[in-house]
Amino acid sequence: MNKQLMILLTGRIITNFADSFYMIATIWYVKSATSSPLLIGLTSAVAILPVTIQFLYGPIIDRFSKKKILFVAMLGQGALVSVISILYYTNLLWLPLLLTLMFVALSLSECTYPTESALIESLTPREQLTRVNSIFAFSYQTLDIICDAVSGILIAFVGLGLIYVTNSILLLGTGLLFLFYLNVPRSTKETELRTVHFIKQYKDDFKDGFQVVKKRYTLLSVVFGIIGMNVMATMGISMLPVISESSADYGFWLTAMSLGTLTGTVLSSKVEKIALNRILPLLSLWSGLCWMLAFVLKDLSIMPYLLFALSWIGIGIIGIYVQTLIQVNLPKGYIGIGFAFISSLLGSLSPLGYLLGGVIGEFTSGRFLLVLSGVGYLAFSLYFWVNPRLKNLNKPLSIRFEES
């Protein structure tokens, strides 16, 4: 990878580390303060809600300096986490205020994902996209494993306050890294003459981006299947803190997720030559079966964690596939807005999944809900095999299947 990709990767690693820690800290704070499955589910729903508004960032990403967007997003997020730190130490951390600050901070964070994806596409040759996406995912997920593995111990022995303070420093530092060292080419749209009619320009770009995405019929068929799968998965994930007996136990579940996802990102480039209509249904079938078995056999020592990790191998590969499919099948000049639109679609119902998980968890057991949520992956396999557009998708990952 070239120097600019390395700087982008370094910033992504640090940001992902900070995001993971303060998210885990916040969820565990809510569990410790309330012990309510509903409020835990609500917290997770608020955390994922910013994903659904990514489409609003699209015209800004394609029109303005991506370097400045990343800097402002990191600076704002760091400042908001600093406020959470101050409120925590002064015993003024009111739950509605905490959720509001977290929502705004994560909204800024979500702006960075389509921005970075657009930069990766512009800095990487087409034939290396899967490899570079895998390297990015592998690198920061390696750190994710460490973060998830020690998160419970850190919460118990270091305290939530110090975690918040450290994360705010990391985020501010990443913003400065992007400001002073990131140097990327300007896009065609970015070099156009600016006018005072920003709102009109924003609307025009928004409409153009929407039309481009709307015509990607096959790509959207894949996306809609992923959406349904995500809703079921998030219903179950919201119950992981509920079934965890301690913060360390919660950390073990998160570590299993990260280890599986990491393995999946490594393997993704090994299977990219297999036709999409073969590999994607098989991956989701594997993930669903391992997921359900993990919670059916929850009382068998380390076996549940191992099975949960195995399920996330398939999920990790699917995640890399979806990101690469978006980059390959969108025309140049629309990667930023297109990625933002589709990311919003992918996360559109996830907040509902977390909230439903919390509501259903109040009346059933978290274990039952986790077993049930694995059905979503089995349903995705069936959907791929019966959908006319998808069952004939016999192209490998790197080959465009949408018209330019």
Tokens 């969108």 map to which residue? 330
Taking alpha carbons only, the member of 178, 181, 164, 180 closest to residue 78 is: 164
The CATH homologous superfamily for domain 3-391 is MFS general substrate transporter like domains (1.20.1250.20)
Cβ proximity of 182 and 67 under 8 Å: yes
Cβ proximity of 15 and 174 under 8 Å: yes
- In angstroms, rounded to a whole number, what is the distance separating the alpha carbons of residues 325 and 231? 21
Q: Which long-range contacts (CB under 8 A, 24 or more apart) does 283-286 make?
A: 283/314, 283/315, 283/317, 283/318, 284/229, 284/314, 284/318, 284/377, 284/378, 284/380, 284/381, 284/384, 285/377, 285/378, 285/381, 286/310, 286/311, 286/313, 286/314
Residues 6+ apart with CB under 8 A from 392: 277
Residues 6+ apart with CB under 8 A from 87: 93, 94, 97, 98
Quick one: pLDDT at residue 381?
93
Q: Number of helices (H) and strands (E), helices first, in the chain?
A: 18, 0
Quick one: pLDDT at residue 146?
67
Quick one: pLDDT at residue 209?
75
Instruction: Give the C-alpha distances (Å, rounded to integers) separating 276 from 161, 321, 330, 384, 399.
Output: 46, 9, 17, 10, 10
- In angstroms, rounded to a whole number, what is the distance separating the alpha carbons of residues 268 and 251? 25
- In angstroms, rounded to a whole number, what is the distance separating the alpha carbons of residues 208 and 219? 17
From first to last of its 404 residues, the chain has per-residue pLDDT tens of 678 888 888 888 888 778 777 778 888 888 888 888 888 888 888 888 887 777 777 677 777 788 888 999 999 999 999 999 999 889 888 899 999 998 999 888 888 877 887 788 777 776 777 778 777 776 666 666 666 666 666 776 777 888 888 889 989 999 999 888 888 767 666 655 455 566 777 777 778 777 877 888 888 888 889 889 989 998 998 888 888 887 778 878 888 888 898 888 888 888 888 888 899 999 999 999 999 999 999 888 889 999 999 999 999 899 888 888 887 887 777 777 777 777 777 777 788 888 888 888 888 878 889 999 999 999 999 999 999 888 888 888 777 777 65
The first and second tokens of residue 378, run together, are 């089995």
Quick one: pLDDT at residue 144?
63
Quick one: pLDDT at residue 187?
65
- In angstroms, rounded to a whole number, what is the distance separating the alpha carbons of residues 144 and 383? 31
- Would you list the domain boundaries of the chain? 3-391
Tell me which H or E stretch contains 294: helix 276-296
Cβ proximity of 338 and 213 under 8 Å: yes
- In angstroms, rounded to a whole number, what is the distance separating the alpha carbons of residues 81 and 109? 12
The first and second tokens of residue 33, run together, are 């303060």
- In angstroms, rounded to a whole number, what is the distance separating the alpha carbons of residues 225 and 385? 11
Taking the model in full, what pTM does it have?
0.70
Sign of CA dihedral 196, 200, 206, 211: negative
Letter string b/e over residues 126-148, b meaning 16 or more CB atoms within 10 A of that residue's CB? eeebbbbbbbbbbbbbbbbbebb
Cβ proximity of 244 and 253 under 8 Å: yes
Quick one: pLDDT at residue 193?
47
